[in-house]
Amino acid sequence: MPRVAIVTGGTSGIGRALSAALVRRGDTVVLTGTDGAAAARVAEQVAAGGPGAASGAELDVRDAAAVGGLVAGTASRYGRLDLLFNNAGVGIGGRIEELSLAHWDRAVDVNLRGVVHGVHAAYPVMVRQGAGHIVNTASVAGLLPNPGFAPYAMTKWGVVGLSLALRGEAASHGVRVTVVCPGGVDTPMLDRGMPPDLPRLPSVEAIDVRTVIRKLNGGRLHDADDLAADVLRGVDRNRPIVVAPRQARIAWRLMRLSPSLFLRLSQVLAARDPDLRSATGVAAPATGELPGRRLSGGRER
CATH of the domain at 222: 3.40.50.720
The reply to whether 298 falls in a domain is: no
pLDDT of residue 286: 44
Q: Does residue 88 carry a pLDDT above 70?
A: yes
Residue 187: is its pLDDT beyond 80? yes
Contacts with 225 (C-beta within 8 Å, 6 or more apart), sequence order: 17, 20, 21
Q: Is residue 290 part of a domain?
A: no
Domain-embedded: residue 291: no
Q: Count the residues in the chain.
A: 301
Structure confidence by residue, pLDDT tens digits, 191-231: 777 888 999 988 788 777 787 787 777 778 999 999 999 99
User: What single letter denotes the amino acid at residue 99?
Assistant: L
pLDDT-derived band at 163, boundaries 50, 70, 90: very high
Confidence of residue 169 (pLDDT cuts 50, 70, 90): very high
Peptide bond into 2 cis (omega under 30): no
**pLDDT confidence of residue 8:** 98
pLDDT at position 113 over 50: yes
For residue 297, being part of any structural domain is answered with no
What is the mean pLDDT of the segment spanning 141-166?
93
Q: What is the count of structural domains for the chain?
A: 1
- On whether residue 233 sits in a domain, the answer given is yes
The DSSP H or E segment spanning 34 is none
Active site residues: 152
Looking at the domain assignment, is residue 53 inside a domain? Answer: yes
Give the residue from 293, 252, 272 showing the smallest Cα distance to 146.
252
Better pLDDT: 138 or 285:
138
Domain membership of residue 32 as a residue range: 4-278
Q: What is the mean pLDDT of residues 101-122?
A: 98
Q: Express each pLDDT in 242-301 by its tens digit.
A: 999 999 999 999 999 999 988 888 777 767 766 555 556 555 544 333 333 333 333 333
Does residue 46 form part of some domain?
yes
Burial 278-290 (b: 16+ CB within 10 A, else e): bbbebeeeeeeeb
Q: Of 14 and 146, which is predicted with more confidence?
A: 14
Whole-prediction pTM: 0.88
What integer pLDDT is reported at residue 275 of this predicted model? 59
Determine, yes or no, domain membership for 294.
no
pLDDT of residue 217: 73
The pLDDT mean for the chain works out to 89
Helix 224-236 with 13-24: angle, nearest 10 deg: 60
User: What Cα–Cα distance (Å) separates residue 264 from each residue in 78, 177, 251?
Assistant: 52, 33, 13
pLDDT attached to residue 267? 77
Under the banding of pLDDT at 50, 70 and 90, the label for residue 165 is very high
Confidence class of residue 125 from pLDDT cuts 50, 70 and 90? Answer: very high
pLDDT the model gives residue 190: 76
Percent of the chain with pLDDT strictly greater than 90: 70
